Amino acid sequence: MMRNYGVYLMGNKRIKVAFVVQRSGKEVAGGSEAYCSIIAQKMVRYWDVEILTTCAMDYVTWENYYPEETDIIENVPVRRFKVDYPRDIKKFNKYSHYITSSINNISLKESEKWMRLQGPMSSDLLKYIETNKQKYDVFIFFTYLYATTYYGLQLVSEKSYLVPTAHDEFAIYLPIWDEWFKKPQALICSTEEEKLFLEKRFPAIEYKGDIIGIGVSIPESISEVRFRYKHDMHCPFIIYIGRIDKSKGCGELFDFFLRYKTETSNNLKLVLAGYSVMDIPKHDDIIKLGFIDNKTKFDAIKGCEFLVNPSSYESLSIVLLEAWSLNKPVLVSAKCDVMVGQCRRSNGGLWYNNYDEFIACMEYIINNKNIALNGKKFVENNYNWEVITSKYRKLIEKN
Please state the pTM of the whole predicted model: 0.82
Find the angle CA(136)-CA(15)-CA(74) to the nearest 5 degrees: 90
- The closest of 315, 333, 334, 328 to 239, measured between CA atoms, is 328
Give the pLDDT confidence score for residue 398 in this predicted structure. 73
Superfamily of domain 224-382: Glycogen Phosphorylase B; (3.40.50.2000)
Rounded Cα distance between 8 and 223, Å, is 45
**DSSP string for residues in 260-277:** HHHH-----EEEEES-BS
CATH number for the region 2-214+384-397 comes to 3.40.50.2000
pLDDT value for 205: 87
Per DSSP (E only), the strands in 225-366 are 237-241, 269-273, 286-290, 307-309, 330-333, 349-352
Residues of the chain within CATH 3.40.50.2000 domain(s) are 2-214+384-397, 224-382
Predicted confidence at residue 275, as pLDDT, reads: 86
Measured CA distances, 384 to 228, 294, 346, 387, 390 (Å): 29, 17, 14, 6, 10
The parts of the chain modelled with pLDDT lower than 50 are: 1-11
Q: Check residue 126 and give its pLDDT.
A: 98
As a dihedral over the C-alpha atoms of residue 132, residue 133, residue 139, residue 141, rounded to 10 degrees, the angle is 70
Asked if the peptide bond before residue 77 counts as cis, ω within 30 degrees of 0, the response is: no
Task: Determine the pLDDT at residue 6.
Answer: 39
Residue 46 near residue 393 (C-beta atoms within 8 A): yes
Question: Is the CB of residue 280 less than 8 Å from the CB of residue 254?
Answer: yes
Output the pLDDT for position 34. 87
Distance between CA 394 and CA 9 in Å, rounded? 12
Q: Judge whether 206 and 386 are in contact, CB under 8 Å.
A: no
For 3, half-sphere exposure in the C-beta direction (CA atoms, 13 angstrom radius) is 0
Alpha-carbon distances, residue 187 vs 44, 91, 370 (angstroms): 21, 32, 37
